[in-house]
Amino acid sequence: MISITEFQKLGAGVTAFGIFFIVFGVLLYFDTVLLAFGNILFLAGLAIIIGLRRTFSFFFQRPKLKGTSFFLGGVVIVLLRWPILGMTLEVYGFISLFRTFFPAVFGFLGAISNVPFLSTVLRNDDPLHAPPALPTSQCSA
Protein backbone atom coordinates (compact mmCIF):
# COMPACT_ATOMS: atom_id res chain seq x y z
CA MET A 1 0.00 0.00 0.00
CA ILE A 2 1.19 3.49 -0.77
CA SER A 3 1.88 5.60 2.29
CA ILE A 4 0.75 9.19 2.15
CA THR A 5 2.62 11.74 4.22
CA GLU A 6 0.95 14.48 6.20
CA PHE A 7 2.37 17.01 3.74
CA GLN A 8 0.67 15.21 0.83
CA LYS A 9 -2.61 15.14 2.78
CA LEU A 10 -2.28 18.89 3.19
CA GLY A 11 -1.68 19.20 -0.55
CA ALA A 12 -4.78 17.13 -1.29
CA GLY A 13 -6.82 19.45 0.91
CA VAL A 14 -5.42 22.56 -0.76
CA THR A 15 -6.15 21.05 -4.19
CA ALA A 16 -9.69 20.15 -3.11
CA PHE A 17 -10.27 23.70 -1.89
CA GLY A 18 -8.94 24.98 -5.22
CA ILE A 19 -11.38 22.81 -7.15
CA PHE A 20 -14.18 23.93 -4.82
CA PHE A 21 -13.42 27.61 -5.41
CA ILE A 22 -13.22 27.08 -9.17
CA VAL A 23 -16.60 25.32 -9.25
CA PHE A 24 -18.12 27.92 -6.92
CA GLY A 25 -16.70 30.73 -9.08
CA VAL A 26 -18.26 29.21 -12.19
CA LEU A 27 -21.61 28.77 -10.41
CA LEU A 28 -21.55 32.44 -9.40
CA TYR A 29 -21.38 33.53 -13.05
CA PHE A 30 -17.60 33.41 -13.46
CA ASP A 31 -16.66 35.42 -10.39
CA THR A 32 -13.10 36.51 -11.10
CA VAL A 33 -11.84 36.54 -7.50
CA LEU A 34 -13.08 33.03 -6.73
CA LEU A 35 -11.70 31.65 -10.00
CA ALA A 36 -8.30 33.28 -9.44
CA PHE A 37 -8.14 32.03 -5.85
CA GLY A 38 -9.18 28.54 -6.98
CA ASN A 39 -6.50 28.49 -9.69
CA ILE A 40 -3.79 29.52 -7.25
CA LEU A 41 -4.89 26.94 -4.67
CA PHE A 42 -5.13 24.18 -7.29
CA LEU A 43 -1.62 24.81 -8.61
CA ALA A 44 -0.19 25.17 -5.09
CA GLY A 45 -1.87 21.94 -3.96
CA LEU A 46 -0.56 20.07 -6.96
CA ALA A 47 2.94 21.30 -6.21
CA ILE A 48 2.60 20.27 -2.56
CA ILE A 49 1.37 16.78 -3.45
CA ILE A 50 4.00 15.80 -6.01
CA GLY A 51 6.74 18.32 -5.28
CA LEU A 52 8.05 21.32 -7.18
CA ARG A 53 10.53 19.41 -9.33
CA ARG A 54 7.95 16.86 -10.51
CA THR A 55 5.39 19.60 -11.08
CA PHE A 56 7.75 21.54 -13.33
CA SER A 57 8.87 18.41 -15.13
CA PHE A 58 5.21 17.44 -15.71
CA PHE A 59 4.11 20.81 -17.04
CA PHE A 60 7.16 21.51 -19.17
CA GLN A 61 7.59 18.24 -21.05
CA ARG A 62 7.97 18.77 -24.79
CA PRO A 63 4.69 17.04 -25.80
CA LYS A 64 2.73 18.91 -23.11
CA LEU A 65 3.93 22.44 -23.84
CA LYS A 66 0.83 23.30 -25.86
CA GLY A 67 -1.50 22.24 -23.03
CA THR A 68 0.68 23.98 -20.45
CA SER A 69 0.67 27.23 -22.39
CA PHE A 70 -3.11 27.17 -22.72
CA PHE A 71 -3.64 26.23 -19.06
CA LEU A 72 -1.22 28.76 -17.58
CA GLY A 73 -2.30 31.37 -20.14
CA GLY A 74 -5.88 30.83 -18.99
CA VAL A 75 -4.80 31.35 -15.39
CA VAL A 76 -3.14 34.63 -16.34
CA ILE A 77 -6.19 35.74 -18.35
CA VAL A 78 -8.44 35.01 -15.34
CA LEU A 79 -6.09 37.04 -13.13
CA LEU A 80 -6.41 39.89 -15.65
CA ARG A 81 -10.22 39.78 -15.11
CA TRP A 82 -11.34 38.06 -18.32
CA PRO A 83 -12.88 35.00 -16.64
CA ILE A 84 -14.90 33.42 -19.47
CA LEU A 85 -12.03 33.50 -21.97
CA GLY A 86 -9.57 32.41 -19.28
CA MET A 87 -11.67 29.44 -18.17
CA THR A 88 -12.18 28.37 -21.78
CA LEU A 89 -8.41 28.36 -22.31
CA GLU A 90 -7.88 26.55 -18.99
CA VAL A 91 -10.37 23.80 -19.85
CA TYR A 92 -8.70 23.20 -23.21
CA GLY A 93 -5.28 23.17 -21.57
CA PHE A 94 -6.48 20.86 -18.77
CA ILE A 95 -7.85 18.36 -21.28
CA SER A 96 -4.61 18.54 -23.28
CA LEU A 97 -2.44 18.09 -20.19
CA PHE A 98 -4.34 15.30 -18.48
CA ARG A 99 -5.50 13.40 -21.58
CA THR A 100 -3.41 10.37 -20.63
CA PHE A 101 -5.05 10.14 -17.17
CA PHE A 102 -8.63 9.94 -18.41
CA PRO A 103 -8.61 6.18 -19.21
CA ALA A 104 -7.35 5.41 -15.70
CA VAL A 105 -10.02 7.65 -14.15
CA PHE A 106 -12.79 6.04 -16.20
CA GLY A 107 -11.45 2.60 -15.33
CA PHE A 108 -11.55 3.51 -11.65
CA LEU A 109 -15.10 4.81 -11.98
CA GLY A 110 -16.09 1.56 -13.71
CA ALA A 111 -14.54 -0.45 -10.88
CA ILE A 112 -16.76 1.29 -8.34
CA SER A 113 -19.60 -1.00 -9.39
CA ASN A 114 -17.62 -3.96 -7.96
CA VAL A 115 -17.72 -2.60 -4.40
CA PRO A 116 -20.24 -4.75 -2.46
CA PHE A 117 -22.44 -2.05 -0.94
CA LEU A 118 -22.24 0.32 -3.91
CA SER A 119 -23.11 -2.41 -6.40
CA THR A 120 -26.47 -2.97 -4.72
CA VAL A 121 -27.15 0.75 -4.61
CA LEU A 122 -26.20 1.23 -8.25
CA ARG A 123 -28.27 -1.74 -9.44
CA ASN A 124 -31.30 -0.93 -7.21
CA ASP A 125 -31.50 -4.55 -5.99
CA ASP A 126 -32.34 -3.34 -2.49
CA PRO A 127 -35.34 -5.32 -1.22
CA LEU A 128 -36.39 -2.40 0.98
CA HIS A 129 -37.01 -0.23 -2.07
CA ALA A 130 -38.43 -2.87 -4.40
CA PRO A 131 -41.71 -2.02 -6.14
CA PRO A 132 -44.75 -3.53 -4.49
CA ALA A 133 -45.98 -6.83 -5.88
CA LEU A 134 -49.41 -6.89 -7.49
CA PRO A 135 -52.08 -9.14 -5.95
CA THR A 136 -52.83 -12.22 -8.03
CA SER A 137 -56.35 -11.04 -8.77
CA GLN A 138 -54.97 -7.97 -10.62
CA CYS A 139 -52.43 -9.86 -12.72
CA SER A 140 -53.39 -10.49 -16.31
CA ALA A 141 -52.24 -13.66 -17.95
Give pLDDT tens digits for 35-49. 999 999 999 999 999
41, 71: one domain: no
pLDDT number for residue 134: 60
What pTM was estimated for this model as a whole? 0.73
Within-domain flag for 119: no
- Structural domain contains residue 29: yes
Quick one: 44 and 68 in the same domain?
A: no
Domain presence at residue 45: yes
Cα distance between residue 79 and residue 58, in whole Å? 23
Contacts for 14 with CB less than 8 Å, ≥ 6 apart: 41, 44, 45, 48
Q: Which pLDDT belongs to residue 41?
A: 96
Q: Is the pLDDT of residue 132 over 70?
A: no
For residue 82, give its domain range.
Answer: 64-112
Domain count, the chain: 2
Residues 1 and 26 in one domain: yes
88 lies in some domain? yes
Alpha-carbon torsion angle 14, 19, 23, 25, nearest 10: 50
